[in-house]
Amino acid sequence: MRKRLLVLAAGILQIPIIKRAKEMGCYVIAADGDPNAMGFAYADKAICANIVSEDDMLKIAIDENVDGVIHPCSEVSMAVMGRINEEMGLSGITREQAINATNKHLMRQAFEAYGAPSPVSILTDSAEHAWNVFDTAFSGNAILKPSRNSGSRGIAKIHKGIPKEEFVHLYDIALNESRDKSVLIEQFVEGPEFSVEIIVWDNKVNVLAVTDKKTTGAPHFVELGHNQPSRFSNEVVALVSDAAVAGVKALGLNACACHAEVKVQDGKAYLMEVGARMGGDFISTVLTRLSSGIDMIAAAVNCALGLEPNLLPTEQGSGVCIRYFTPKPGVLDDVKNVNALKHPSVFDSAIYCKVGDVVHDVTSSHCRCGHVIVTADNADAAVELAEGLISSVEFETKQI
């Protein structure tokens, strides 16, 4: 009998999971609220449904008699997945664990209780409250962020001396982007950013890869690219890995993939967050296998099905890098030198916009206009090649 796997969401980031699960012999049921979701074309069965409705998706899971459910590279339906796991006795995280791993305030509380390294963080109930907290409780710069969201949406750096009107404006943006309508004000950590790709099985936290991040920096910190393996020293990699492991343990996660985000300042690691899911931006689905040789998708699918994952390399690893296109804002008039993306070291590339589309300032991951993934002998060479290709493709825009 083929194992029946329910994949919550069927966008571009979920396609690798749908395809790999089918290769593994699973009968894949993909659910998404978009009737034109790209991943539907690759699934055995496509269901257009409200994937954030626990009751609706639980009924579908029961009707389809699924053996496992997975919500990769996204957070909107984590509680749905946890509810299905609990009510159907499936492998994976509980609903409570899902909520704790998507609500940044609850996550910070869990980190503090466990002793996992984390920035100072205060939950606010209004712009006025946040303004007073910033004035009295923080001696330096801070971050405003939605307590529940992802993809860098709504995040802004605030500095001492910021006019109150600007502060309130940024607070309102964060509040509007927050799925539970609350905002955190947090200590700003200055330093390099990393993610850690993890599989937890039988209560053992297995680090598969440490990823270096490139971001826009302040004020929005949108991710512009990633590379594996990390180019930092073994000591820094160990520091980052240890922080991520502590975060996973603090949340009590098991039988799942995890994606932790960490920053390092003055030799100390700070946990930004831990997601009980595979990371987006192709980090977990593509980069980790290319760099480590470990099939993280297969491992995550097996965790969801209650099967022991294979965490040994199945192929030779290499240096790998992804970079995103972020053209000058305006109306896209032309894209030139696209043939540069046919370079033999390019593993994958895509341009998300077409002539006539409006290119926006990069304030969230949704504002990026394409990507290129390259492999090379090592991470240094991969980064150099990817950044060269990003520069060589020319996006011409006209002011609106």
Residues 327-384: pLDDT tens digits?
A: 999 999 999 999 999 999 999 999 999 999 999 999 889 999 999 999 999 999 999 9
What's the pLDDT score for residue 151?
A: 54
Residues 92-106: pLDDT tens digits?
A: 999 999 999 999 899
Ramachandran quadrant class, 252 (left: phi over 0; alpha: psi -120 to 50; beta: rest):
left
142, 141, 33, 11: which is closest to 80 by C-alpha? 33
What's the CA gap between 351 and 355, in Å, rounded?
11
Q: What is the pTM of this model?
A: 0.91
The helix (run of H) or strand (run of E) holding residue 380 is helix 379-392
What's the pLDDT score for residue 150?
A: 62
For the segment 290-298, the average pLDDT, to the nearest whole number, is: 98
What's the CA gap between 335 and 365, in Å, rounded?
20
154 or 9: which carries more pLDDT confidence? 9
